[in-house]
Structure 1
Amino acid sequence: MADLVITPANVVAGTNAGTDSASAGEVIAAGDQIYLNSTTKKLMLADSNSATAEARKAIGTALNGGALNQPIKYQKSGDITPGAALTPGAAYYLSDAPGKICPAADVGAGEYVCLIGLAKSASVLTLDYQFPGVAN
C-alpha cells in the first residue's frame, strides 16, 4: 500500500469538527498532518521518523494551504473528508513522508506510531490523534 493520495481542494471539515489555527512555518497543503513547533509557535509538517521528537506527534489536519507565515486553520477532532479514498473501518497513521497519512501496514520498523483516525466510510475519517511515544 502507499500514502493516501489527497486532493487538497476536497478536504472538508465535518459539522462536529474541533478546529484551531496558527501561522505556517513552512509550505503546508490542505490535508497535511501538522504539529506546532514549541520554539517558533508555527505549524510544521509532522513526520513519523523525524529526528525531532515533537515532529513525530501530529496534532491536526490542515484545512487550507499556505506558505511561510500565512494562517492555517486545522482540524483536531471530529469527522473530516480528507479528499482521499479510504477503507471503511481501517486505521490510518502518520507516514514517514512529511505531512502524509498511511494505512497501518505502511508503518515501518523504527517509525514512531501516531494514530490519525479511523475510517467511518470510504470518504470520511474520524480523527482520533493518539501518540504513545513508541517506535514500531
Structure 2
Amino acid sequence: MADITITAANVVPGSNAVLETGFAGEALTAGKSVYKSSTTKKWMLADSNSATAEAKTARGIALTGSAANQPVVVHKQGDLTIGATLTLGAAYYLSDTAGGICPVADVGSGENVCLLGIAKSTSVLAVEIIAPGVTI
C-alpha cells in the first residue's frame, strides 16, 4: 500500500475538533501531518524517519494550506473528514514521506511509530495522536 491520497479542499474538521492556530514554517497543504518546531514555534511537515528528532512525532493535521510564515489552522484531536478514502476501523500512521499519512502496513524499519487515528467511517478519521517514542 501507500500513503492515502488526500484532496485538500475536502479536509473538514468535525464538531468535536480541537484546533490550534499558528504560523507555517514551510509551505503546508491541508491534510498533511505536522509538528510544531520547538525553536521557531512554527508548524512544519512531520516525517516518521526524519533526521530531526521532533519531526518524527506529528502533533496535528493541517486544515489549511499555508505558505511559509502565513497563518495555519491545525487539527489536533477529534473527528476529521480527511478528503480521502479510508478503510473502516483501520489505524492510520505518520508516514516516512513528509506530511504523509499511511496505513499500519506501510510503517517500516527505521520509522518512529506515531498513530494519528482510527477510521470511524470510509471518510472520517477519529484523530487521537499517540506517539510512544518507539522506532521499529
TM bracket (short chain) = over 0.9
For 2:22 and 2:34, the matched residues in 1 are separated by 11
- Tell me the residue number matched to 2:126: 126
1:82 aligns with 2:82: yes
For 2:135 and 2:41, the matched residues in 1 are separated by 26
- Tell me the residue number matched to 2:107: 107
Tell me the amino acid that sits aligned with residue 127 of structure 1. Answer: V
1:15 aligns with 2:15: yes
For 2:22 and 2:100, the matched residues in 1 are separated by 19
What secondary structure sits across from 2:78 in the alignment? strand
- Tell me the residue number matched to 2:25: 25
What secondary structure sits across from 1:55 in the alignment? helix
Tell me the amino acid that sits aligned with residue 124 of structure 1. Answer: V
For 2:42 and 2:64, the matched residues in 1 are separated by 15
- Tell me the residue number matched to 1:69: 69
Tell me the amino acid that sits aligned with residue 108 of structure 1. Answer: G
For 1:89 and 1:135, the matched residues in 2 are separated by 24
1:49 aligns with 2:70: no
Tell me the amino acid that sits aligned with residue 61 of structure 1. Answer: I
Structure 1 alignment gaps of length 5 or more? none
In the TM superposition, what is the alpha-carbon distance from 1:110 to its structure 2 partner? 1.0
For 2:38 and 2:101, the matched residues in 1 are separated by 23
Structure 2 alignment gaps of length 5 or more? none
- The TM-score with structure 1 as length reference comes to 0.99
What secondary structure sits across from 1:35 in the alignment? strand
* Runs of at least 4 residues off by over 2 Å: none
In the TM superposition, what is the alpha-carbon distance from 1:21 to its structure 2 partner? 0.9
RMSD of equivalent CA atoms: 0.5
Provide the identity percentage.
61
- Tell me the residue number matched to 1:92: 92
Tell me the amino acid that sits aligned with residue 130 of structure 2. Answer: Q
